[in-house]
Amino acid sequence: MLYTEIMTQNKDFQLCYRKGKSVVSQNVILYARPNRLPVNRLGITTSKKVGNAVCRSRARRLIRQAWRENEILAPVGLDIVIVARTSITNIKSDVLSRYFRKYGMQALHQIYQGLSPQPQKGEKKS
């Protein structure tokens, strides 16, 4: 990943959950907050609700691939946590990539500018 480091510290995840803004979709939840660094930091979370180890690993692979394809569109200087939801196991990789391209990156730009992301059509604001 070009402009992204991997987030590994639990305190960084917790800070992103508590202080960051979120965008909810059918397959993932994006949490983001500015980090004042010259790179993005990405964390991926999959709970046991997603499925067994094979399903959770597939979900992480799907998320990483979709992020790689759209990373260039994201603003630099954010902590981003992507949480997989149970429906992610039933989709193809291009579906998630299209979501990131169309809605996810737009929401990250709004968070970076200090605005609250607008919920998409048919989705709830969190």
> What's the whole-model pTM score?
0.88
Cα–Cα nearest to 28, from 8, 43, 15: 43
- Domain residues for the domain of 61 are 4-112
121 in any annotated domain: no
Structure tokens at 51: 């499925």
Rounded-to-integer distance, Cα 44 and Cα 7, Å: 8
What would the mean pLDDT of 50-60 be, rounded to a whole number?
Answer: 95
The average confidence (pLDDT) of the chain is: 89
Amino acid letter, 40: N
We report the CATH number of the domain holding residue 10 as 3.30.230.10
State how beta strands 28-34 and 78-84 pair.
antiparallel
DSSP state of 100: I
Task: List 22's β-bridge partners, or say none.
Answer: 31
What would the mean pLDDT of 20-48 be, rounded to a whole number?
Answer: 93
